[in-house]
Amino acid sequence: MKYSGWPDKGELVVGKVDEIADFGVFVDLEEYENKRGLTHISEVASGWIKNVRDHVREGQTVVAKVLDVDTDSQQIDLSIKDVNEHQRKEKIQEWKNEQKADKWMNIAFGEDVADEQYSSVANALLAEYESLYDGFEQAAIHGTEALEDVDLADDEIEAIVDTARQNVSVPYVTVSGYVDLRCPAGNGVDDIKEALKAAEGEDISDEIELSVTYVGSPEYRIKVRAPDYKTAETALEDAAARAADSIEAAGGTSEFHRERNEDDE
C-alpha cells in the first residue's frame, strides 16, 4: 500500500536512492505514490563530504527525515544524517510490517481486489489502529472482537480474521507463579484437587494458555502464556484467587508467591 498524499514535516520515511549528484541525492519514497525527495549533500552525513558516493549508493534503501514539503513546487527536502541507528532500524521494521500487511490484504480480498474496496478497508482499519499491521495482529489475537468498532462488513471482518490467524505470528509472553495449598480436613486431598481445578478455570479466553502442575507438597505451579504481560499477569492472579477461594471455602489455606519456595523441597 502506498499513500497518495504527501509526507509530513518531521516524519521518517523509507526511500530508495534513485540518483546521485554532486549536490545531493534523489530518493524515491517507498511509502508514497510518485513522490521523490532530495537530500542535499549537507544532509547526507555529518562532517565534510568529499564524495557523496562514499556514503550512499544508487539502489540503496535509506531512512530519511522530512525537513520540508512544498506541494506547489512538488519538492520534498530530506535528511539522512538526522536519523540515528535506532530510528532507522525501527522505521525499516515498521515498513516491512506494512509490506506484510499489504500481502495479507491481497490474501484476504484477492489479488484483484478493487482499489475502492482496498482503500475502504484500509482506511477503516487505520481509523482504529496505528497501522494495517497492528489491525491484523490484533485480529489474530482477539478475533472478531478486535474489529467490533471498525466500520467493516461482517464478511470483511471474517476475511481479515481468517487471514490474520493463518499468517500473523503473534508475540506471546509467559509468566509463572506458585500457590501453596493446605487443607487439614479429612478429605483435604480432594479439596486441593478441586482448588486446582478452579485455578485452571472453565471460561479462559482462547488467547490464554493456562496450566497448573505439581511441584512438591504443598506447592503448585501456575503457568500462563498470553499475548502481553498485562493479560498474562491478570490471568495468573485470577487463577491464584480462584484456587484460594476454593480451598478456603473448604477450611484450608492458600498462599501465592512468584518464586519457587526452596524450603518445601
Domain with CATH 2.40.50.140 in the chain: 12-83
Residue with cell 532530495: 38
- d(C-alpha 8, C-alpha 30), whole Å: 15
Mean pLDDT of 88-108: 95
pLDDT at 143 over 90: no
Mean pLDDT of 10-36: 95
**Model confidence pLDDT, tens digit, residues 45-97:** 998 898 999 999 999 999 999 999 999 999 999 999 999 999 999 999 999 99
pTM of the model: 0.63
Question: What mean pLDDT, rounded, does the chain reach?
Answer: 91
The CATH number that domain 12-83 falls under is 2.40.50.140
**Percent of the chain topping pLDDT 70:** 97
Among 13-17, 82-86, 213-217, 227-231, which is the least confidently predicted range? 227-231
H or E element at residue 209: strand 209-216
- d(C-alpha 140, C-alpha 163), whole Å: 8
C-alpha closest to that of 9 among 49, 59, 68, 58:
68
Domain with CATH 3.30.70.1130 in the chain: 173-264
Q: Answer whether 144's CB lies under 8 Å from 120's CB.
A: no
C-alpha closest to that of 121 among 151, 99, 100:
151
173-264 adopts what CATH topology?
Alpha-Beta Plaits (3.30.70)
Query: 87-167 belongs to which CATH class?
Result: mainly alpha
pLDDT at 264 over 70: no
C-alpha cell at 130: 496505528
**Model confidence pLDDT, tens digit, residues 158-202:** 999 999 988 988 778 888 999 999 998 778 889 999 999 999 987
Burial class (CB in 10 A: 0-12, 13-18, 19+), 138: buried
Domain with CATH 1.10.150.190 in the chain: 87-167
**DSSP 8-state symbol, 192:** H
